[in-house]
Amino acid sequence: MNELRDVARWGTPADAVTLSSDVRGLLSAALGVTGSRPAAATAALPAGTLSETVLKELRSVCPEVATDDEARLAHAAGKSTEDLLRLRAGQADDAPDAVARPATQQQVADLLAVCSRLRVAVVPFGGGTSVVGGLAARREGFAGVLAVDLAALDRLVHLDRVSRTATFEAGVRAPRAERLLAAEGFTLGHFPQSFEYASLGGFAATRSSGQASAGYGRFDRMVVGLRAATPIGLLDTGRAPESAAGPDLRQLLLGSEGAFGVITELTVRVRPAPRAHHYTGWSFPSFDAGAHAVRALAQDGPLPTVLRLSDETETAINAATGGPQAGGCLAVVGVEGTAEDVAGRTAALERRLTELGGTPLGTGPGESWQEGRFRAPYLRDALLDAGAIAETLETATFWDRLPATYAAVRGALMENLSGAGTPPLVLCHISHVYDSGASLYFTVVAAQAEEPVAQWQAAKAAASDAIAASGATITHHHGVGRAHRPWYTREIGDVGVAALHGVKQALDPHGILNPGILLP
Amino acid sequence: MNELRDVARWGTPADAVTLSSDVRGLLSAALGVTGSRPAAATAALPAGTLSETVLKELRSVCPEVATDDEARLAHAAGKSTEDLLRLRAGQADDAPDAVARPATQQQVADLLAVCSRLRVAVVPFGGGTSVVGGLAARREGFAGVLAVDLAALDRLVHLDRVSRTATFEAGVRAPRAERLLAAEGFTLGHFPQSFEYASLGGFAATRSSGQASAGYGRFDRMVVGLRAATPIGLLDTGRAPESAAGPDLRQLLLGSEGAFGVITELTVRVRPAPRAHHYTGWSFPSFDAGAHAVRALAQDGPLPTVLRLSDETETAINAATGGPQAGGCLAVVGVEGTAEDVAGRTAALERRLTELGGTPLGTGPGESWQEGRFRAPYLRDALLDAGAIAETLETATFWDRLPATYAAVRGALMENLSGAGTPPLVLCHISHVYDSGASLYFTVVAAQAEEPVAQWQAAKAAASDAIAASGATITHHHGVGRAHRPWYTREIGDVGVAALHGVKQALDPHGILNPGILLP
């Protein structure tokens, strides 16, 4: 039996939050959440299935291969609400049998060769922050499951100041990458909610998108080169920023979620670290009016570095729990860059947003959003403790379909959870904008039912069906994993699945790489 | 025997150019070109190999299947100098046995099913402007070769004004696409040198990049959705501008050069048609100084819509043949957009380019470049007639490697052709810029040797070896075809080739799609 305290929740216990009386009051009044649901203290691990012979072969190419319970439990699950609910119930069925910690890229390649020969399933492990079951590999048909934790591959290999690119080993966590770049005057500018723990290799493997994507772009657009170890050898891509030399193999590895290879190194474009920033709040009379405004900025500029728009519910809930008293819909508009650039763009944005019907709320809401930007996962832990269920999901679509997708997903969540006897709060914001469309990011809070995993699975399926029916994509930046796989395979169709299976078969003939993740 | 007049040269005979006395003088003095090399009047076609039974089956799904010599000759080759030299010598060995002209996307799908069953090789044909042998499919092992000319698939299927996307059938030629969009107030903004003839499907299949790429982006970045017919069914991609739903299948079709499927429809983002434009010339004291300036614009802005920089030789040759008297190195800086935007960016560019050491030459050089932008292929025909050889090639790399790649490629061309007794003129310009790198576009002119095809093949191989050795990509926007295949396969490595073969095997199990193109 193993201590769950540090595993079944986000981040570090020292940063845990306590629910304010405002939030407790809201939970009680709006959702009927009154009790508490403490997590189990310990979890039982299934017996490891890797023989000493196999372990010896693994250790012959990578000395650090742990089989202790602590290591296995720490790699047992990602950070979805479903993952946490299972762990909180003392379930750790997906724990790997062993955890390898390669010290070099060559050790990764050698591990894959051994695992392919011995039919050991391999789960690449970066920051462990998957929220789509990306770590829950299928174990049937394999001698066992090996997590390959890339944490030791955390070097800045090369900084090219002229081309403004940085080559990192893939296991580097985002905060360390930013510190290494900051020492040289640069930034990557990628700040997803998982920023404090996730790795650059994980960002690449899952097509992460950060909160400052309007200014810095999605992660998959930052990557100019990738190296990946595969069971049949090394794949090394990216000789130029852009090329007409065939299909873009970088874009085949990006989003491959460990199913085609283990990304061991990546080259990303970097930007000069911003000297100044200016974050403001704006209020719009409605979500439609706000969406029209953010679309206008995305299509005709000026485009800020951060651009988000909460719907009426999210705005009201924020206000009721200590956030800015915005009324209508709150937008956060952040600009980063040189002092001159920030001043110029801020002024242009003020003119344009005013023309578009926005009311300025000053820097308070912007600064407070920025301060709290990585806190939501801690809040979720407190909500789970308090007997609520809380989870997020996201999609993206073209602008013309956005209102219909918004209504359909919101409606599906309301209907499903209300039907289950736990009417939810459904909050939404536009989190990332493009010239032709945007993402919608939903947050759902409800009282926990007797079987909260089944409760959420049903609600999630209803939302996913609504996303698919509206023609939107099943995920904008969380990835596919196991959770989205049924909708994903329908989204890309039989021919798309066949194409990816063709790649999988070629690069991973024994199918050891993250089996069951991404592809059936 | 068939008339070659309209086939063995670019465009239409009415637009043919005559060499000026300046150019003739230069050819004679610099390269020793004095004679003339008229093209043959006719070409012999190999006998068609498709049986009447096969043709009947093809016509049962697509009524328009021609086997006449005129149709076969018109689809016999692309527009590389090597293609033209062979045609001018009366050789048309790569002519297809028949030419299908499907009227619907369904007919394309049906043709592929029949061809797959009967082992007929399929060459998708858009504008026929390949300069890398993209139409010269391998015929060994097949019952014959069918060109599938998509010219009849030229509809604007849907214009989404809200999302600013347009869905076209893939056979639409670029000028028609622009006319259809202009009627609605939009533009695609894609103007490669092949603009007057190339199709949108061809742009996608070869990762084309246009002369205004700084402002409008490469074609592969414009595409938000693609439909392709494959022998195993339809692939339909693109539910959102961006997605984390697995590898980007659009990026797998882009650059696939007909080897994975026939692109039948594509959705591209469009922009409001520009109301104003302002094209100027700038002079820089050296290619290095100019490269530093264009890099500064690409990395820190302001970024114009068009940005090109000629090296010293290209600048001098332009000046000697009636171009602007720039001295040093000529840059063309074009800005398009709203009147206000153009005025603002032009002023900002003037300040910045002056800071960066540029000397303004006014609008003359910019306007004259713009007027002549699609004329170079006509000039090539006149040069071939006059006994010169003329061809272009391109690459791209990161900024830090650009000077070494430039020197290596230029040196290889000079050395190879001089060693063959035909010392060349080698001109170069930076044609497309990105934050982390740029493309180099070389133009080579020399006296024709006795065997001009072998002469150019040797020079091209030397240049390609130099590109590869310098770490650059074998092509920035011409594609792979057959000409670049040996260097391409080395560039992506055995694992990259295996991945693409895996896709090919899955989607095209009998290997009928453009055999020998892109992949061995």
What pLDDT, in 10s, does the model give residues A45-67? 999 999 999 999 999 999 999 99
Whether A185 and chain B come into contact, CB under 8 Å, resolves to no
| Nearest CB partner across the interface for A242, out of B160, B396, B400 | B396
Please list every residue in chain A whose beta carbon sits closer than 8 Å to the beta carbon of residue B469.
Answer: none
pLDDT at A130: 97
- Partner B, chain A 218-257, Cβ-Cβ below 8 Å: 218, 220, 224, 230, 232-237, 239-249, 251-257
Band of the pLDDT at B367, cuts 50, 70, 90? confident
Q: Give chain A's mean pLDDT.
A: 96
Determine the distance in angstroms separating the CA of B458 from the nearest CA of chain A, rounded to an integer.
21
Residue-wise DSSP of A391-440 = EEEEEEEEGGGHHHHHHHHHHHHHHHHHHTT-PPEEEEEEEEE-SSEEEE
pLDDT of residue B451 exceeding 50, the answer is yes
Please list every residue in chain A whose beta carbon sits closer than 8 Å to the beta carbon of residue B269.
Answer: 435-436
Instruction: Report the residue count for chain B.
Output: 520
pLDDT at A327: 76
| Nearest CB partner across the interface for B254, out of A248, A434, A505 | A248
Residues B260 and B284 in one domain: no
Is the residue at A263 inside a domain?
yes
Determine the distance in angstroms separating the CA of A42 from the nearest CA of chain B, rounded to an integer.
34
Rounded distance between C-alpha atoms, residue A63 and residue A107, angstroms: 9
pLDDT of residue A43 exceeding 70, the answer is yes
| Nearest CB partner across the interface for B207, out of A209, A244, A255 | A244
Is the residue at A93 inside a domain?
no
Instruction: Report the residue count for chain A.
Output: 520
A488 with B255: Cβ contact below 8 A: no
Structure tokens at B78: 């692309």
Whether A46 and chain B come into contact, CB under 8 Å, resolves to no
Whether B320 and chain A come into contact, CB under 8 Å, resolves to no
- Partner B, chain A 431-450, Cβ-Cβ below 8 Å: 432, 434-439
Determine the distance in angstroms separating the CA of B158 from the nearest CA of chain A, rounded to an integer.
13
Please list every residue in chain A whose beta carbon sits closer than 8 Å to the beta carbon of residue B234.
Answer: 493, 495
Residues B164 and B267 in one domain: yes
What pLDDT, in 10s, does the model give residues A448-465? 999 999 999 999 999 999
Determine the distance in angstroms separating the CA of A375 from the nearest CA of chain B, rounded to an integer.
23
What pLDDT, in 10s, does the model give residues B266-285? 999 999 999 999 999 999 99
- Partner A, chain B 362-421, Cβ-Cβ below 8 Å: 395-401
Rounded distance between C-alpha atoms, residue B60 and residue B46, angstroms: 25
From the candidates B132, B163, B507, which should be mutated to test the interface with A, based on the most A CB atoms within 10 A? B163
CATH number at residue A323: 3.30.70.3450
| Cα B97 → chain centroid | 25
**If you measure CA to CA, which chain B residue comes closest to A162?**
B400
pLDDT of residue B486 exceeding 80, the answer is yes
Of B272, B291, B317, which residue is a domain's last? B272
pLDDT at B5: 72
pLDDT of residue A492 exceeding 50, the answer is yes
Rounded distance between C-alpha atoms, residue A83 and residue B11, angstroms: 63
More confident position, B34 or A182: A182
What pLDDT, in 10s, does the model give residues A154-202? 999 999 999 999 999 999 999 999 999 999 999 999 999 999 999 999 9
Is the residue at B358 inside a domain?
yes
pLDDT of residue B504 exceeding 60, the answer is yes
pLDDT of residue A444 exceeding 60, the answer is yes
Residues B300 and B206 in one domain: no
- Partner B, chain A 272-301, Cβ-Cβ below 8 Å: 272, 295, 299-300
pLDDT of residue A293 exceeding 80, the answer is yes
Please list every residue in chain B whose beta carbon sits closer than 8 Å to the beta carbon of residue A249.
Answer: 492, 496, 499
Secondary structure E strands in B329-436: 329-337, 359-362, 388-398, 425-433
A258 half-sphere exposure, CB direction, 13 A CA radius: 34
What pLDDT, in 10s, does the model give residues B146-161? 999 999 999 999 999 9
Is the residue at A26 inside a domain?
no
Q: Are B462 and B450 in contact (CB under 8 A)?
A: no
**If you measure CA to CA, which chain A residue comes closest to B160?**
A400
> In a 10 Å sphere around its CB, with 0-12 CB exposed, 13-18 middle and 19+ buried, how is residue A276 labelled?
middle
Residues A239 and A286 in one domain: no
From the candidates B436, B478, B480, B507, which should be mutated to test the interface with A, based on the most A CB atoms within 10 A? B436
Q: What is the mean pLDDT of the segment spanning B123-142? A: 97
Interface ipTM > 0.95: yes
Rounded distance between C-alpha atoms, residue B74 and residue B96, angstroms: 10
**If you measure CA to CA, which chain A residue comes closest to B207?**
A244
Residues B192 and B295 in one domain: no
pLDDT of residue A317 exceeding 50, the answer is yes
pLDDT at B337: 95
CATH number at residue B205: 3.30.465.10
Please list every residue in chain B whose beta carbon sits closer than 8 Å to the beta carbon of residue A475.
Answer: 243-245
Whether B47 and chain A come into contact, CB under 8 Å, resolves to no
Residues A303 and A212 in one domain: no
Please list every residue in chain A whose beta carbon sits closer than 8 Å to the beta carbon of residue B208.
Answer: 244
Whether A520 and chain B come into contact, CB under 8 Å, resolves to no
Band of the pLDDT at A2, cuts 50, 70, 90? low
> In a 10 Å sphere around its CB, with 0-12 CB exposed, 13-18 middle and 19+ buried, how is residue A34 labelled?
exposed
Structure tokens at A81: 């609400």
| Nearest CB partner across the interface for A239, out of B224, B491, B505 | B491
A-B contacts at Cβ under 8 angstroms: 278
Whether B101 and chain A come into contact, CB under 8 Å, resolves to no
Is the residue at B7 inside a domain?
no
Whether B264 and chain A come into contact, CB under 8 Å, resolves to no
Structure tokens at A459: 């609600």
Specify the number of domains making up chain B: 2
| Nearest CB partner across the interface for A254, out of B247, B253, B518 | B247
What pLDDT, in 10s, does the model give residues A204-253? 999 999 999 999 999 999 999 999 999 999 999 999 999 999 999 999 99
pLDDT at B2: 62
Q: What is the mean pLDDT of the segment spanning B302-312? A: 97
Is the residue at B302 inside a domain?
yes
A492 with B255: Cβ contact below 8 A: no
CA distances from A21 to A24, A38, A382, A447 (A): 5, 19, 13, 17
Q: What is the mean pLDDT of the segment spanning A463-470? A: 98
Of A213, A240, A272, which residue is a domain's last? A272
Residues B284 and B266 in one domain: no
Determine the distance in angstroms separating the CA of B207 from the nearest CA of chain A, rounded to an integer.
5
Residues A293 and A306 in one domain: yes
Q: Strands B262-269 and B223-230: what pairing?
A: antiparallel
A332 bridge partner residues: A281, A308
From the candidates A297, A395, A398, A409, which should be mutated to test the interface with B, based on the most B CB atoms within 10 A? A398
Is the residue at B139 inside a domain?
no
Determine the distance in angstroms separating the CA of A233 from the nearest CA of chain B, rounded to an integer.
6
Q: Whole domain around residue A238: which residue ranges? A: 156-272
Q: What is the mean pLDDT of the segment spanning A367-375? A: 87
Structure tokens at A51: 């023989």
Structure tokens at B22: 């300046």
- Partner A, chain B 459-518, Cβ-Cβ below 8 Å: 471-480, 484, 488, 491-496, 498-507, 518
What pLDDT, in 10s, does the model give residues A495-506? 999 999 999 999
Q: Give chain B's mean pLDDT.
A: 96
Determine the distance in angstroms separating the CA of B480 from the nearest CA of chain A, rounded to an integer.
6
Determine the distance in angstroms separating the CA of A396 from the nearest CA of chain B, rounded to an integer.
6
Q: How many helices (H) and strands (E) does chain A have?
A: 18, 20
What pLDDT, in 10s, does the model give residues B174-206? 999 999 999 999 999 999 999 999 999 999 999
Q: What is the mean pLDDT of the segment spanning A92-102? A: 97
What pLDDT, in 10s, does the model give residues A125-159? 999 999 999 999 999 999 999 999 999 999 999 99
Residues A243 and A305 in one domain: no
pLDDT of residue A284 exceeding 60, the answer is yes
A264: Cβ–Cβ under 8 A, 6 or more apart, which residues? A105, A108, A109, A150, A153, A169, A170, A201, A227, A228, A229
pLDDT at B1: 47
Residues A198 and A224 in one domain: yes
pLDDT of residue A326 exceeding 80, the answer is no
Of B272, B302, B326, which residue is a domain's last? B272
Secondary structure E strands in A126-222: 144-149, 156-160, 165-169, 186-187
Of all residues in chain B, what percent carry a pLDDT higher than 70? 99
Is the residue at B187 inside a domain?
yes
What pLDDT, in 10s, does the model give residues B309-332? 999 999 999 998 877 776 799 999
